Structure 1
Amino acid sequence: METFHNAPGPVQWTLADFLGTYRYWALFAAWLFVSVGAQGFGAVIPAISSMAGLSVASTSLYYSGTGVGWIGAAFIAFVVAGRSGRAALIVPLAVCAILLAAFAFLQPLSQTAPFLFLLGLSIGTVQALFPLATAVFLVGGRPGRIDFACAMALLSGAVLLSFLGPILVSLLYDDQGVTTVVAAVFICMVMAILAIAPAKRLAFEDVPRPRHHPLSPRQRSPMLLACVLLSAPVLWMVAAIGTDFFRAHIFADGPSPVVLFLSLALVIITFGALIYLLYWVYRIHGELAGAQASQRLVSPLAALLVALFVPLGLPVLLMTLGELLNDRAREKGRPRLLSIGWLATWCLLLPPVAMALIQHAVNRDYGSDGPQAEPAIPLRSTVSDTP
């Protein structure tokens, strides 16, 4: 796999190595808190400024400050973060929290245009700092291009979840007022600091610790796997069409026992399909480790949690498995087991089909070597990464 560095050096980090560390998830949590807080505060700044009697021109200085913040973020990420990762993130977050506290309690000062520009500069800096600094931290681990892209994609899921910020902050503003809104954004910045503070280091320049969680390999029917996982969305689609078509008859005298029974059955099938999806994700990672140990494999429990809670987590895991299976086939002098292009397409459009493609490739790999291949434990020194 192609890497960012070709010269001899430390062991290269894989996506699975990243996912197995506290610092990676600390960056994800801090990035999420900052994105939610910054997006939410930016949504209500016009209303706050209007209530304070500021002009539109004065309010626009806040957004100008957030844009200029990218310059400060670039300087911190490329100059400071490589030397002291924690300080590069914690100090700007602390400054931002202090300015938010001043905005809440120093009303005459906080309602001036220069202060709005300064506050926007601070929030814009921390908002832009995380993607830039995170890229610096990850590249320090010398990952392959696919591993780096997948690690950044999972971390960028924090940006996808930031849409919650404007919604929650707007509700707080309508119900509680300005002070509660500022307090909520202040708490987001403090939570980001608390997530980062326990990490001993943020750069991935050390040696990753070895992982090996094997399970007994087994073959499954790809067709049956796809049918089980597609049953829930297909039944929901049929239920939506049927309810709309027969609405007048079904609800004429209130919901009938048959409708209630079918609704309960639909919920049970959906829950069962979700459980089977998580079971498959857990098993497939352990079974591939049982067939042949690899530092590129995420541990079964970590894979389950990523698939369940992280946006884009399941597609990224499936793409990683596809790359791994093709690399194993290449090492054995055999043609690739599946098309990465088609796998990526189905990962985005219909993940159950992508899972069936992975299972088919796994069955072929087992068939060529036998499902009970002796695993080879990689020789790597252990480096503790506990907070």
Structure 2
Amino acid sequence: MESASAASGHTVANGITRWTLADLFSTYRYWALFGSIFILEMGMQGLTSVLPWIMRDHGNSYQSIGLFSISNSSGWAIGAFLAFVAAPRRGRPALVFPIIVLMILTIVILVVPNLWSQPIYLCLYGMAQGSVRGVIVLAAAIFLFAGRPDKIDFGCALTLLSSTMLTGIFGATGLSLLTEADPSGIYVILCFLAFLVAALALLLPLRQPSFEDEPRQRHNPLTPRERSPVTVALILLLAPLLVVAISIALYLLQEQAADAGAATIDALLFSIAAFVIAIAGLIYLAWWIYRIHGELAGAEKSQRLLTPLAALLIAILVPLGLPILLMTLGDLLNDRGRKRRGTKLVSIVWLAIWTLLMPPIAIALIQNAANKSYQADQAAA
């Protein structure tokens, strides 16, 4: 049986406190895992993308490149062993030790570049790299599960961590530019070493990576305020539409200027206008995210809500942060609607569709549901 804990606001099952998604997002350890995976994926995918050229310059055959890839995949088995056996007991050492080993091997290759041509060293390096990727991803899932979040919260938290793997393309692009500047690969290896140091710096402060303890209490309420969902949607839709329209006009002006053989001041003015409108739209989105989290907390305290500032930063800076926050708010508002009115306040299906296709409409749906929730609170009072 599950019940709401009056003292903490957490969902409690059989006397065990469950972590909510907002609880997870409000900890350094979650963002340390997020940041380290983000950094490591950028570095490793970037290095892997340019490594064939570096190895070819050192006289390696295509078979050697294949050997490295096989060793890299085999390293996942070592990472899985560390994640499932060592991480639950010794969380921080299980995360840090493979990175340190990879750092040592990377420093050695800087000192002795000819080791790229040695198959045994390629195997060791590939296995070390694979073990780092395997242990941190699998251990992160184990750490999250230790907090006993419900299925949706666990899925959202893990999805956000997994989204960092998509950022590897940026590392590949950056390191490929370094390879063009220095075909020997020294700059690339130095950059990769810097990625490892940065990831290690994020993980070292973690005393307890697992979420087995009690979540921190937090409550930053703001006075609830109803606002027009149509107005919210129009403001958030108008900004990108104006930017697109101005960009088209700017393109046409540049074409005319090119035909005339001279630049115009209008092009500069249009560029500034597009930039200002884009910033204004982003500021309004940040303001709305800040207000809605504080206002819902003001209506009723809940550990499922982030603090306004944390929500703002996640929505603006984190990949997939805004969709996850909107879906979480929709689920929270539906729970409040069922408790007060016996009905849902927003369709989760339509909310998910609009979140993917047109976020301003999804934001308007959340605002409309919040208005209904405030009205129900006033009626109950």
- Asked if these proteins are the same fold (TM beyond 0.5), I'd say yes
2:8 is matched with none
1:91 is matched with 97
User: Aligned partner of 1:50: which letter?
Assistant: R
Going from structure 1 to structure 2, the CA distance change for 1:218 and 1:251 (only over 3 Å counts) comes to farther
Q: How many Å apart are 1:308 and its aligned residue? A: 1.3
Is the 1:41–1:181 contact (alpha carbons within 8 Å) kept by the matching residues of 2?
A: yes
Does 1:185 pair with 2:200? no
1:380 is matched with none
Partners of 1:183 and 1:263 in 2: CA distance: 38
User: Aligned partner of 1:32: which letter?
Assistant: F
User: Aligned partner of 2:320: which letter?
Assistant: L
1:211-290 alignment, distance < 5 Å: 211-244=218-251, 248-249=255-256, 251-253=258-260, 254-290=262-298
Q: In terms of mean alpha carbon deviation, does 155-164 or 245-254 score higher?
A: 245-254
Does 1:362 pair with 2:370? yes
Name the % identity: 44
Going from structure 1 to structure 2, the CA distance change for 1:157 and 1:216 (only over 3 Å counts) comes to same
User: Aligned partner of 1:69: which letter?
Assistant: G
2:146 pairs with one of 109, 119, 140: 140
Point out where structure 1 has 5 or more consecutive residues left out of the alignment: 374-387
Q: Let me know the Cα RMSD of the aligned residues.
A: 2.2
The structure showing larger relative contact order (alpha-carbon pairs under 8 Å, at least 6 residues apart) is 1
Partners of 2:320 and 2:162 in 1: CA distance: 9
Q: In terms of mean alpha carbon deviation, does 96-105 or 201-210 score higher?
A: 96-105
Is the 2:35–2:199 contact (alpha carbons within 8 Å) kept by the matching residues of 1?
A: yes
2:311 is matched with 303
- Tell me the TM-score normalized by structure 2: 0.92
2:72 is matched with 66
Partners of 1:260 and 1:103 in 2: CA distance: 49
Q: SS of the residue aligned with 2:356?
A: helix
Going from structure 1 to structure 2, the CA distance change for 1:183 and 1:258 (only over 3 Å counts) comes to closer
1:111-130 alignment, distance < 5 Å: 111-130=117-136
Is the 1:154–1:311 contact (alpha carbons within 8 Å) kept by the matching residues of 2?
A: yes
1:32 is matched with 38
- Tell me the TM-score normalized by structure 1: 0.91
1:23 pairs with one of 5, 21, 29: 29
2:112 pairs with one of 99, 106, 111: 106
Q: In terms of mean alpha carbon deviation, does 165-174 or 250-259 score higher?
A: 250-259
Q: How many Å apart are 1:108 and its aligned residue? A: 3.9
Partners of 1:175 and 1:54 in 2: CA distance: 21
Is the 2:286–2:316 contact (alpha carbons within 8 Å) kept by the matching residues of 1?
A: yes
Residue-pair matches, total: 372
Q: How many Å apart are 1:111 and its aligned residue? A: 2.0
Is the 1:278–1:308 contact (alpha carbons within 8 Å) kept by the matching residues of 2?
A: yes
Point out where structure 2 has 5 or more consecutive residues left out of the alignment: 4-10
Q: How many Å apart are 1:182 and its aligned residue? A: 1.0
Q: Show CA shifts across 1:17-64 (max 9, x none).
A: 011111111111111121111101101111111111111101211110
